[in-house]
């Protein structure tokens, strides 16, 4: 209020994406006479829902499936790589462990094929081990760095590179930024590592609203549940200040035009890139800084390419690519159309020259993977560039009045709808514990703290022993035995 003292809100939610809307929905359904408002910097709700961020879900994602059932949103299966209706022959997809070209022959070809087979075997086995470790009821405390864990468990550098890429695009963090326990909690919140891999490679298909190819219907129904009157658009909050009034803390929010609001509690449901642009006074929380990363990925290019005909099918391919070595994910998104994401090492604000460079790189990779020169001559090419969020982690609450919905690594993961829903529910329960604790049930508290229990699976002793075997341990054992035998032989000589 520019003219006088503004109304004191019980709760202010910054960000009207899926996470912020889910928090507001949880608050409003309590019917506890809580005065709240959402502030969105753009002119529409929903956040980013394009490219790889289409936030596909699978039947294993408990929270997303439950929300769609509640809002009566029927889901349909997106095209699977094994179901190509117009194909008159078996088509293949390009995965991280693709075979060498059939034209190469000789000893080098045999050794390369053997190495690729071992990398595939090792990576598949390690995925099963991670799922065995993360889908238990209680994850053991392990402060070891995840990068060191990969070095110890995996023999081949190709396998390590594959898991670095998978962890980064699935969780938003590099392995060097996580402990083993934190990484396992992230994997458990997304149901499993195998489920993430199958989703990105279109092994089991994705789910999306049956009536439309995007998630606008979900956003519309969430806004309807919350109430459009509770959402304020075109309001970019740039400052959050904690002040003391009458022996209680009050949070003042200021937007880019200088307008101010006051609230007892605030939920910051924005991305990491937007969060660092908000000034928190008088003293902000301690954010972790990004360490020296290993993959060198800084921007995310979401692309859509349309051709006169599906040339990739003529060359025996489904159109699905998941290639960590080339930092490329691609899938058939429509008739004669491919969509996907290319992870680029370019940093900062990209100019037209760099955009053309990324475009040419994507078309070259498509031509190389599908062995088709025509792939470099599309009818249309759409490109959207977004910076990749850096390592960012804070405690769930700050000074007991500022609550972060999507920055704590204990029960969420980045970029997919299920993780956004988890973050919103968690933030809402934390806010209700402060505002109206009498409205919270014991089940809601345990669900807030242990959402990943929904994905708990019992593993037998045989499975745990089998998953613990790995080529790196066998290699170290053989090297140790060889060293002992060599030393004994030298001694005998």
CB neighbours (10 Å) of residue 291?
Answer: 11
Would you kindly state where each structural domain of the chain is located, as residue ranges? 8-75+208-292+390-449, 110-201+460-472, 297-387
State pLDDT tens for residues 202-219.
Answer: 766 678 888 776 788 899
CA 486 vs CA 121, 474, 475, 476: distances in Å: 30, 18, 16, 15
Q: What percent of the chain has pLDDT over 90?
A: 37
Report how far residue 175's alpha carbon sits from residue 479's, in angstroms, rounded to the nearest whole number.
Answer: 27
The architecture CATH gives domain 110-201+460-472: Orthogonal Bundle (1.10)
Taking only the tens place, the pLDDT of each residue in 246-290 is: 778 899 999 999 999 999 999 999 887 788 889 999 988 887 766
Q: Report residue 311 as tokens.
A: 């040339």
Class of the domain covering 8-75+208-292+390-449: alpha beta
CA distances from 55 to 114, 170, 207, 295 (A): 36, 11, 10, 23
Q: What confidence category does residue 53 fall into, taking pLDDT thresholds of 50, 70 and 90? A: very low
* CATH class (in words) of the domain with range 297-387: alpha beta
Alpha-carbon gap, residue 256 to 263, rounded angstroms: 18
Answer yes or no: is pLDDT of 51 > 90. no
405 labelled binding-site residue: no
């Amino acid at each position: 209020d520019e003219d006088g003292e503004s109304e004191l809100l019980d709760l202010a939610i910054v960000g009207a994406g899926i996470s912020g809307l889910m928090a507001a929905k949880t608050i409003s359904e309590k019917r506890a006479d809580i005065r709240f408002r959402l502030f969105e910097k753009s002119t529409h709700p929903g956040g980013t829902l394009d490219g790889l961020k289409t936030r596909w879900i699978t039947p294993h994602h408990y929270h997303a499936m439950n929300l769609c059932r509640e809002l009566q949103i029927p889901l349909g299966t997106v095209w699977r790589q094994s179901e190509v209706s117009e194909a008159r022959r078996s088509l293949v997809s390009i995965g991280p462990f693709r075979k060498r070209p059939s034209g190469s022959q000789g000893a080098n070809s045999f050794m390369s094929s053997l190495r690729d087979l071992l990398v595939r075997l090792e990576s598949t086995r390690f995925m099963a081990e991670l799922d065995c470790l993360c889908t238990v009821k209680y994850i053991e405390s392990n402060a070891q760095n995840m990068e060191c864990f990969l070095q110890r468990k995996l023999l081949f550098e190709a396998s390590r590179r594959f898991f670095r890429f998978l962890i980064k695009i699935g969780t938003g963090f590099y392995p060097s930024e996580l402990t083993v326990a934190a990484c396992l909690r992230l994997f458990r919140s997304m149901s499993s590592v195998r489920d993430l891999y199958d989703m990105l490679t279109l092994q089991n298909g994705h789910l999306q609203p049956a009536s439309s190819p995007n998630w606008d219907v979900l956003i519309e129904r969430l806004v309807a549940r919350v109430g459009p009157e509770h959402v304020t658009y075109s309001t970019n909050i740039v400052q959050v200040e904690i002040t003391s009034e009458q022996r209680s803390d009050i949070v003042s929010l200021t937007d880019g035009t200088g307008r101010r609001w006051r609230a007892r509690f605030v939920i910051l449901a924005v991305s990491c890139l937007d969060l660092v642009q908000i000034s928190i006074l008088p003293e902000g929380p301690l954010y972790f800084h990004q360490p020296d990363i290993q993959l060198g990925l800084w921007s995310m290019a979401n692309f859509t390419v349309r051709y006169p005909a599906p040339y990739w099918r003529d060359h025996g391919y489904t159109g699905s690519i998941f290639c960590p070595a080339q930092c490329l994910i691609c899938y058939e998104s429509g008739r004669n159309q491919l969509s996907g994401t290319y992870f680029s090492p370019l940093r900062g604000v990209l100019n037209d020259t760099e955009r053309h460079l990324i475009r040419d790189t994507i078309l070259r990779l498509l031509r190389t993977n599908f062995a088709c020169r025509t792939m470099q001559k599309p009818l249309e090419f759409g490109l959207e560039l977004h910076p990749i969020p850096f390592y960012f982690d804070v405690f769930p609450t700050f000074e007991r009045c500022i609550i972060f919905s999507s920055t704590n690594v204990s029960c969420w993961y980045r970029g997919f709808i299920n993780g956004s829903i988890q973050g919103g529910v968690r933030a809402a329960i934390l806010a209700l514990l402060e505002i109206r604790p009498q409205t919270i049930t014991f089940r809601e508290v345990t669900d807030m703290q242990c959402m990943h229990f929904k994905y708990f699976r019992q593993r037998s002793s045989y499975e745990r022993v089998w998953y613990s075997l790995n080529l790196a341990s066998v290699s170290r054992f053989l090297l140790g035995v060889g060293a002992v035998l060599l030393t004994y032989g030298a001694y005998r000589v």
